[in-house]
Amino acid sequence: MKMQSYWIDTATPFAAGIDAGPQGEADVVVVGAGFTGLSAALALAKKGAKVVVLEAGKVANAASGRNGGMCNNGFAQDYGGMCARLGTERANLLYRAFDAGVDKVEAIIAQEGIDCDFRRVGKLKLAAKPAHFDKLVRSQELLAREVDPDTRIVTRADLRDEIGSDRYFGGLIYEKGAGLHMGRFGQGMAEAAARHGAVIHENNPVTGLRRLSGQVHEVVTPKGAIRAKQVLLATGTSRVGPLGWIRRRVIPVGAYLIATEPLPTDLLDRLTPRRRMTTDTKNFVAYFRTTPDNRLLFGGRARFSSRSDAASDARSGAILRRTMVEVFPELADTRIDYCWGGMVDMTKDRLPRAGERDGLFYSIGYSGHGTQMSTYMGAIMAEVLDGRAELNPWRDFDWPAIPGYFGRPWFLPIVGAYYRYQDLVR
């Protein structure tokens, strides 16, 4: 079993990365070469800007290359709850931004000729309890009426047409959802950005960041420094470096995944006949999909932890394997070929934040639903840097620091215990 991301292991690494440090000047420095940073660099380079991307490790090797491979519209939260909290008009604005995110991923793939197995197969959200199904029904009625007619309910009696399991009580289908090969998409975006003129420095973590006179910023790495007219922070919760303001607002939470050996097509036809991007309604969420080479990728929270190393990932992988067999008993003897984990950047309300602070621009905190929104926001932030702040759907959201939190999430075991209790009683 390989203790690494299936997506990264089965993608051709980016060939044009520069290991040497940055120097000189740029119009824009983008910090982070995940989907946000690469999408922004691509859009800015196509506008003719001189763009330099600084990545602490390798291109798309953090959250962007370690996720579940899903590109779905819709909120993680209940739509009705979002309407009650934000108002229907604003909730719909944000909902349509997630729709636009899926469209943006599809458009970049088509425009840049990225071979990454993008398919609009739809998302299936499964009710883990009867009460959860009732809530899905109410949510779908609101969705269809207000913002998304391309949704529909599947009753328990009809669920076998969607999934070969008796564990669930019905589901909600979002037809706009898609799947793709995350590794090939990330490497493909990097190649496209470089092709259009962006310069991408790998293994160059940002260790210093200061504003000089006027609008000029100096960005420092251990290997060199560069000055830029504008800086876009498109990075996660690094525990080192100068981004302490972000560390007080973004919580790193472990996300863990396993991938089986390649499975026979007739078996997959029984287990997931539509090949949907599938998730359930638990707080300790389980999600799964098939890969382009017929593996079942199965992921979830497994544990509320801020650790990801070989031992921690293996413990989480064992939990996921047990859950997978509970959902699909036919897989009891199936070999697991990949097991991996990584940090997901969570905000307190599980909504992204993007804007400008003290002359620095940022788009961060996608909270486990980042493929479409990060790609979309990279392109949007390219416009915001050009003065079109009104295009940013998150521009008016407050973002206070989390009380008592300075970058070490001491409270995660408490939160995990609470959510586990909620899964038992609700």
Q: What is the rounded radius of gyration, in angstroms, for the C-alpha atoms of the chain?
A: 21
Predicted pLDDT at 165: 97
Predicted pLDDT at 323: 95
Predicted pLDDT at 213: 78
* Confidence check: pLDDT of 225 > 80: yes
Consecutive H or E run containing 117? none
Q: What is the distance between the alpha carbons of residues 363 and 366, in angstroms, rounded to a whole number?
A: 9
**What's the pLDDT tens digit per position in 234-285?**
987 666 667 888 888 998 888 899 999 999 999 999 999 999 999 999 878 8
| Residues in CB range of 13: below 8 A, 6 or more apart | 58, 59, 187
**What's the pLDDT tens digit per position in 139-195?**
999 999 999 999 999 999 999 999 999 999 999 999 999 999 999 999 999 999 999
Residue 338 tokens read as: 């990949």
Residue 63 tokens read as: 């959250």
Predicted pLDDT at 75: 87
| Residues facing residue 123 across a β-bridge | 174, 277
* Domain spanning 6-414, CATH class: alpha beta
- Comparing 46-55, 326-335, 337-346, the range with the smallest average pLDDT is 337-346
Percent of the chain scoring above 70 in pLDDT: 96
Q: From 381, 108, 107, select the one nearest 234 (Cα to Cα).
A: 381
Q: From 138, 146, 148, 141, select the one nearest 88 (Cα to Cα).
A: 146
- Is the separation of the CB atoms in 95 and 148 below 8 Å? yes
Q: What is the distance between the alpha carbons of residues 413 and 401, in angstroms, rounded to a whole number?
A: 20
- Give the β-pairing of 251-260 and 224-233: unpaired
- What is the pLDDT confidence band of residue 77, given thresholds at 50, 70 and 90? confident
Coil vs helix vs strand at 212: coil
DSSP string, 61-80: -SGGGSS--EE--S-SS-HH
Residue 316 tokens read as: 């989480």
* Average pLDDT of span 105-121: 98
* Confidence check: pLDDT of 422 > 90: no
Please report, for the chain, the start and end positions of each structural domain, with discontinuous segments joined by +: 6-414
Residue 277 tokens read as: 């991007």
| Residues facing residue 47 across a β-bridge | none
